[in-house]
A = this chain, B = another copy of it.
Amino acid sequence: MDDNLDLVCEDPGSHSDVVEKVRRSLPEDDTLYELADLFKMFGDSTRMKIMFVLMESEMCVCDIAELLGISQSAISHQLRILKQSKLISSRREGKNIVCFLADDHVRSIIDQGLSHVLE
């Protein structure tokens, strides 16, 4: 018989110990959601391009749009999202809004991704 309360896979043995141990090692749910939300920012090619551009130089919205060949509106929507995630900041400079990376983690995260993609 099998009176294992924490019945897993019908397996008679070792599994549940490991499962319990791993369960306790997991981060808080909040942390997991925050993490996923963070990576979501890097998971869209438009946002990715914006961040790549800003890794090279701060730049106004209009230049970003022109450089990437994406509509000003689309860029602006994405910038809003990136700002909400604290990845990008901006300042006004005359008529322009100059955007720049707000966090050095952006660079290290993208670099880690690149080293995976480039074999």
A residues apposed to B, CB below 8 Å: 8-9, 11, 15, 18-19, 21-23, 25-27, 31-45, 47-49, 52-53, 56-57, 59-60, 62-63, 66-67, 96, 103, 105, 108-110, 112-118
Minimum distance in angstroms from A114 CB to a CB of chain B: 7
> How many copies of this chain does the complex contain?
2
Indicate whether A33 sits within 8 Å of B45 (C-beta atoms), given known contacts A63-B8, A116-B38: yes
Q: Which residue of B lies closest to A60 (CB)?
A: B9
CA distance in complex: A66, B8 (Å): 7
* Inter-chain contacts of A57 with B (CB < 8 A): 18, 21-22
On whether the beta carbons of B35 and A113 are closer than 8 Å, the reply is yes
Can you give 16 contacting A-B residue pairs, CB < 8 Å? Answer: A15-B63, A18-B57, A18-B59, A21-B56, A22-B57, A23-B67, A26-B49, A26-B53, A35-B48, A36-B47, A37-B43, A38-B113, A40-B44, A42-B42, A109-B109, A109-B116
